């Protein structure tokens, strides 16, 4: 990964983008994509569509969601403490003692998530996981009036955890679910811009996946793609505590390349195209299976309008939905290259019928 690519990844991770509040990240992507795209099209839902080779065929949509899990301010008490609700799916025990950034109209402000100290808890409560509704955020306010000068009801917040570089080309930070996928879609679009594809390519950065793949639903309806590749993250099973999960999620290792899904929700022809391209170009991949609908943007893509030939690529990820998710630079680059090489092989008149 070169310095330009790393700088973009660093800025993407730093930009807060909880579901419904993705604008800071979308501004970065729109600005960067303007350098190579034919068009950069935002929509009313908040999605961003980076278009290459308009008028080409087939019409292909690459999709990765830009939203991350977060919290939202629901109440300010008389002492100036904030009550919060979840945005997306949290393990509540992860939140205790975390620092946060509250995203306000005047800019981000710091805060911490408070909890009653263990010393004064009843013995029976010490082994219980606190519910989110029992936690609070302390922004240092003197009282409610002071807090309301800084924060408004509905202001979102994210855990304050930016990109950290680890040995062996690995990165740690919050929101790699799914900024890892968004980075690969951006990089695939940049590569495709120099490959003169026959296809009309829509690299779409979607919103609100963490609350039901809402952005992908509206984007696919408007774009009407013939084929699509959704990119998300999947559980790496190469760390302690995952031996049982491996039997369900598959054997997925960090640095082993993107996971290519086979299963009920995946178009067989699209899977074949990805697998054959990976073999021909020497791109490492890991095959996983899913016999049901997937909890990703691939679901609404597949059933948009009269149906879309849809594939799913997943970046291996450790410690999902925590502030210290870990990914591999090799997997990010391999995922982007596999997408670009596969789409570059598409020709006008190609059929994706599952015959």
Annotated catalytic residues are: 209
DSSP structural state of residue 68? B
Buried b (16+ CB within 10 A) or exposed e, 120-141: eeeeeeeeeebeeeebbbbbeb
Report the C-alpha gap between 37 and 33 in whole angstroms: 6
Report the C-alpha gap between 309 and 345 in whole angstroms: 16
Report the C-alpha gap between 228 and 303 in whole angstroms: 11
Q: Number of C-alpha atoms within 13 angstroms, CB side, residue 233?
A: 31
Report the C-alpha gap between 248 and 12 in whole angstroms: 31
Token duo for residue 23: 């604008």
Q: Number of C-alpha atoms within 13 angstroms, CB side, residue 172?
A: 12
Radius of gyration (C-alpha) of the chain in whole angstroms: 21
Report the C-alpha gap between 4 and 20 in whole angstroms: 28
Report the C-alpha gap between 13 and 296 in whole angstroms: 20
- Are 201 and 192 within 8 A, CB to CB? yes
Q: Number of C-alpha atoms within 13 angstroms, CB side, residue 8?
A: 23
By residue count, the chain amounts to 355
Report the C-alpha gap between 203 and 65 in whole angstroms: 11
Give the torsion through C-alpha atoms of 248, 254, 258, 260, to 10 deg: -10
Report the C-alpha gap between 163 and 144 in whole angstroms: 33
Distance of CA 255 to the CA centre of its chain: 18
Q: 172 phi and psi, to 5 degrees?
A: -125, 150
Q: Position of tokens 């410690």?
A: 319
Token duo for residue 311: 């594939």
């Amino acid at each position: 990964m070169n310095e330009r690519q790393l700088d973009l990844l660093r800025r993407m991770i730093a930009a807060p983008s909880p579901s419904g509040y993705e604008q800071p990240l979308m501004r970065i992507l729109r600005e960067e994509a303007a350098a190579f795209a034919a068009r950069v099209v935002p929509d009313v839902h908040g999605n961003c569509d980076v278009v290459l080779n308009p008028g080409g065929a087939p019409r292909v949509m690459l999709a990765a969601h830009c939203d991350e899990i977060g919290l939202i301010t629901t109440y300010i008490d008389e002492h100036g403490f904030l009550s919060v609700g979840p945005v997306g799916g949290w393990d509540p025990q992860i939140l205790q003692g975390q620092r946060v950034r509250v995203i306000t109209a005047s800019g981000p402000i710091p805060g911490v998530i408070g909890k009653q100290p263990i010393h004064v808890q009843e013995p029976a409560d010490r082994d219980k996981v606190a519910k989110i509704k029992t936690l609070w955020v302390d922004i240092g306010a003197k009282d409610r009036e002071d807090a309301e000068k800084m924060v408004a009801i509905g202001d979102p917040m994210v855990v304050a955890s930016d990109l950290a570089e680890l040995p062996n080309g690995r990165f740690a930070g919050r929101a790699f679910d799914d900024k890892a996928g968004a980075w690969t879609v951006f990089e695939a679009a940049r590569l495709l811009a120099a490959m003169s594809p026959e296809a009309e390519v829509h690299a779409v950065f979607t919103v609100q996946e963490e609350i039901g793949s809402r952005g992908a639903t509206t984007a696919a309806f408007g774009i009407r793609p013939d084929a699509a590749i959704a990119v998300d993250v999947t559980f790496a099973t190469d760390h302690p505590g995952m031996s049982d999960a491996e039997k369900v999620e598959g054997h997925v290792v960090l640095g082993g390349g993107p996971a290519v899904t086979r299963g009920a929700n995946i178009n067989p022809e699209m899977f074949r195209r990805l697998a054959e391209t990976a073999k021909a170009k020497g791109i490492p991949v890991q095959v996983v299976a899913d016999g049901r609908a997937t909890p990703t943007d691939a679901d609404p893509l597949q059933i948009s309008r009269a149906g879309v030939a849809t594939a799913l690529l997943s970046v291996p990820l450790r410690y999902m939905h925590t502030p210290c998710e870990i990914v591999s630079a090799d997997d990010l680059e391999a995922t982007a290259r596999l997408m670009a090489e596969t789409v570059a092989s598409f020709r006008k008149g190609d059929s994706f019928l599952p015959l």
